[in-house]
């Protein structure tokens, strides 16, 4: 069963945009994810993508992330860490333990 994609953006105390993502990212909703990334990164500033609520990320989701690799910090759980590593996104990723 697919877990619906939930996206929300906010500014942290330092004014940095944080895009929080939960659910599953696959080809059925990658366009929504891509649009949210585009909006979060619309001012060409660095931003954060919090993937700690993501249970599944396929190649469509990774493809959406890659254009932002030079200016995004990704927060993910150990489940996604190997996938992000294979794509070269691991230097920009902070892996956090699952509570």
Domains delineated in the chain: 6-96 (3.30.750.24)
pLDDT above 80 (res 98): no
Q: What is the pLDDT of residues 2-15, one digit of tens each?
A: 789 999 999 999 99
Q: Which two tokens stand for residue 16?
A: 């940095």
> Where in 1-99 does DSSP place strands (E)?
6-11, 17-25, 47-57, 72-77, 93-96
pTM of the predicted protein model:
0.92
41: three-class secondary structure by DSSP: coil
Please state, rounded to an integer, the average pLDDT across all residues of the chain: 91
Q: Which two tokens stand for residue 47?
A: 């931003």
Provide mean pLDDT across the span 53-69.
Answer: 94
More confident residue, 33 or 41: 33
27: three-class secondary structure by DSSP: coil
CA of residue 38 relative to chain centroid, distance: 12
Q: Please name which of 57, 51, 19 lies closest in space to residue 35, comparing C-alpha atoms.
A: 19
Provide mean pLDDT across the span 71-79.
Answer: 90
Task: Provide the greatest CA pair distance for the chain.
Answer: 38
């Amino acid at each position: 069963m697919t877990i619906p994609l939930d996206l929300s953006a906010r500014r942290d105390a330092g004014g940095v945009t944080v895009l929080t993502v939960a659910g599953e990212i696959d080809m059925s909703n990658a366009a929504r994810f891509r649009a949210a990334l585009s909006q979060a990164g619309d001012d060409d500033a660095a931003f954060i993508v919090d993937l700690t609520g993501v249970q599944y990320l396929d190649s469509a989701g990774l493809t959406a992330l890659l254009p932002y690799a030079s200016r995004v910090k990704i927060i993910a759980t150990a489940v996604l860490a190997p996938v992000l590593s294979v794509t070269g996104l691991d230097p920009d990723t902070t892996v956090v333990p699952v509570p």
